[in-house]
Each structure stands twice: as structure tokens, then as C-alpha cells.
Chain A
Amino acid sequence: QITLKESGPTLVKPTQTLTLTCTFSGFSLSTSGVGVGWIRQPPGKALEWLALIYWDDDKRYRPSLRTRLAITKDTSKNQVVLTMTNMDPVDTGTYYCAHKRFGEVNWGQGTLVTVSS
């Protein structure tokens, strides 16, 4: 059974850097075709996919946020870390860690991040 758990701060100040960690189980990020990514949902708005890292370290970023995002993996720890720089109140929302392997896409319960001074 695949589980994904997001962790990180619940409150960040504007201009700060957000660091979120996804700790997963039930699959390996060294398996061909597997990817782990991050999705967010601002209050009252649609979900949006932020970044994705594949088993071979191929990385994808949402073009509009490319300069602010970095995604890394630690296969031995079953973790993926997302950093987002220069946080703004519009970045407030629920952040989800997601697993992807070909047509299968699942994500966790999410963690609420509020950006406020």
C-alpha cells in the first residue's frame, strides 16, 4: 500500500523560503517509471501541479514557478524535498505530495501552509 506524508512549517513569512518534505512508503523511487511530485491547492481554487522528480533524477517544474522551485530526492530515506523561495501570501494553500507511475497518480492528505507576516 502506497502512503505519502507531507511535513513542514504551517506558517511562513513573506519572502521566506518554504521547505517541505515528503516521506513515502510502499514503493521505491529507484524503480523505473516512478515519479514523486508536489501539488498545491490555494483556498477556493483548483489544484495545480508544481514539480515532479523521476527515478532517473529527471526533474520537471511548473514554468510559471520554475525560478522559485527546487525538487530533490533521497532514495535511501524514501524522501523528496521541495523548496520554494520568496514566499508570498498568494502561495497560501494545501500542499500535497504525489506518486506517479505511468497512468497511476495518487497523493497524500496534504499540509496547509499559510504565508503571513
Chain B
Amino acid sequence: ETTLTQSPAFMSATPGDKVNISCKASRDTDDDMNWYQQKPGEAAIFIIREASTLVPGIPPRFSGSGYGTEFTLTINNIQSEDAAYYFCLQHDKFPYTFGQGTKLEIK
């Protein structure tokens, strides 16, 4: 099973900041890595596919990068509505696995 180590587990940011969230895989996953945003009580929102492709309708302040075992979700110009959990998903090899999640707080 591919383990995804996501960091940090918690972070706090101020509106206008830039933040990076890391996801490291225990084996090569090519670019089969997605990122999601989830707020309490709501369905997860698909924000980045295949490591770096922005899902249609997602603001361009979100971006993804990486390949193989190291991936990063970057949020530029943080807005208050970006407060949420963020997590990665590898869909390269079954069982697909998830990162533990990052809770992003906006001050």
C-alpha cells in the first residue's frame, strides 16, 4: 500500500499569504495525485487533478506541482473562504490512498 505523508497537519495563515502543503508518497505515483478541499459538513471539492491540472471552476490562486513521490499544493493570495481541510489522493495503484489532511485556519 502506498503511504502518503502530508504536512503540515495544521497551519494558520493571514489573508493575502501564500501557503504550501506537501504530500510525499512512499513509492513512485507518476502524476496520479489529486488534491481536495473539504469544509465541515460539506462534500469534498476536487481542486487539482494529475498533480498540476486545475479543475474547471477552481480559482487560479490554487496550483499543484510535483511528480513521482513529492507533490505540493500551493494557495496564493489566501482568502478567508479557503479555511478548510486539504488532502491528497494517489490513484496510481490500488488501494488508492489518502494523506492525513491539513487543516488550514485563516486568521
- The distance in angstroms between the C-alpha atoms of A103 and B52, with both chains bound, is 11
How many chain-A residues does the 8 Å CB contact rule pick out?
A: 17
Q: How far is the CB of A84 from chain B (nearest CB, A)?
A: 15
Q: Is the interface of B mostly helix, strand, loop or mixed?
A: loop
Please determine whether B87 and A47 come into contact, CB atoms closer than 8 angstroms: yes
- The distance in angstroms between the C-alpha atoms of A48 and B50, with both chains bound, is 19
Decide: A46 near B46, CB < 8 A? Known: A103-B32, A103-B34. Answer: no
A81-116 CB mask vs B (1 if < 8 Å, else 0) is 000000000000000000010011111111000000
B66-107 CB mask vs A (1 if < 8 Å, else 0) is 000000000000000000000101010011111111000000
Give the most central of B43, B44, B50, B98: most A CB within 10 Å.
B44
Please determine whether A105 and B91 come into contact, CB atoms closer than 8 angstroms: yes
Within 8 Å CB of A107, what residues of B?
A: 43-44
User: Which residues of chain A have a CB within 8 Å of any CB of chain B?
Assistant: 46-49, 52, 60, 62-63, 100, 103-110
Interchain residue pairs A-B with the least CB separation, the first 7: A47-B98, A103-B50, A49-B96, A60-B94, A103-B49, A62-B95, A109-B43
Beyond A46-B98, A63-B95, A105-B46, list 20 extra A-B contacts (CB 8 Å).
A46-B87, A46-B101, A47-B98, A48-B95, A49-B95, A49-B98, A52-B94, A60-B95, A100-B91, A103-B34, A103-B49, A103-B53, A103-B91, A104-B49, A105-B34, A105-B91, A105-B96, A106-B46, A108-B43, A110-B43
